[in-house]
Each structure stands twice: as C-alpha cells, then as structure tokens.
C-alpha cells in the first residue's frame, strides 16, 4: 500500500503491485470499485466476462462487485497501480 484509509478521506487505498511473468492475480470480487493502471509490462486483464490485452498507460475500471483477474503473459514483470474507492 502506498496510501490507505489512514491517509485518505474518500478513497480506500492506492497500491503498487508487481506480477512476475506467467503469474496471475486470481479471479476475485471486491466490495469497492477499483482502477488498475499499468505502469510497465503486459498482460491480460479480465473483468466479468470480458478479457483484454493491457500494457503501459492502460487503465481498467472495475465496478463494485465485479469479478476481475490479471495474468502476466509477457516476459517482464507487470507493474500496476491500483486505486480503490468505497461503495458509498
């Protein structure tokens, strides 16, 4: 975590994560909306039934409660920022 509710007033958190080549963030759903922003690397982002290739500069909005997953299908680490906002 870079920032969380101890520092923020209206956001849940800002996180930095790295997914090694051929690894994944397993499918899950959260009680908040999120934005995944790709800093470097490449992968396949899935939200509910939709999958898309993502790379540096791509942002994916994940609605509250949507199933989402991320696969690093590249040769380098897939580095992301994740912003989460509570479902007020």
pLDDT above 70 (res 88): no
Q: What is the pLDDT of residue 7?
A: 56
Stated pTM of the model:
0.86
Q: What is the pLDDT of residue 2?
A: 59
Q: How do residues 14-67 score in pLDDT, each as one tens digit?
A: 889 999 999 999 999 998 899 999 999 999 999 999 999 999 999 999 999 999
Task: Count how many domains the chain has.
Answer: 1
Domain of residue 16: give its range: 3-86
Query: CA dihedral defined by 68, 78, 58, 60, rounded to 10 degrees?
Result: 10
Q: What is the pLDDT of residue 10?
A: 66
CATH number at residue 7: 2.60.120.10
- State how far the alpha carbon of 2 is from the alpha carbons of 40, 52, 57, in Å: 18, 26, 19
Determine the Cα–Cα distance for residues 46 and 68; give it in Å rounded to an integer: 5
| Choice between 10 and 77, residue whose per-residue pLDDT is larger | 77
Q: What is the pLDDT of residue 18?
A: 97
């Amino acid at each position: 975590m870079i920032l969380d509710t101890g520092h923020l007033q209206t956001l849940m958190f800002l996180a930095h994560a790295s997914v090694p080549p051929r690894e994944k963030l397993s499918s899950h759903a959260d009680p908040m909306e999120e934005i995944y922003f790709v800093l470097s690397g490449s992968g396949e982002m899935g939200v509910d039934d939709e999958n898309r290739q993502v790379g540096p500069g791509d942002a994916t909005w994940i609605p509250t409660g949507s199933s989402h997953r991320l696969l690093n299908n590249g040769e380098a680490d897939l580095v992301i920022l994740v912003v989460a906002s509570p479902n007020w």
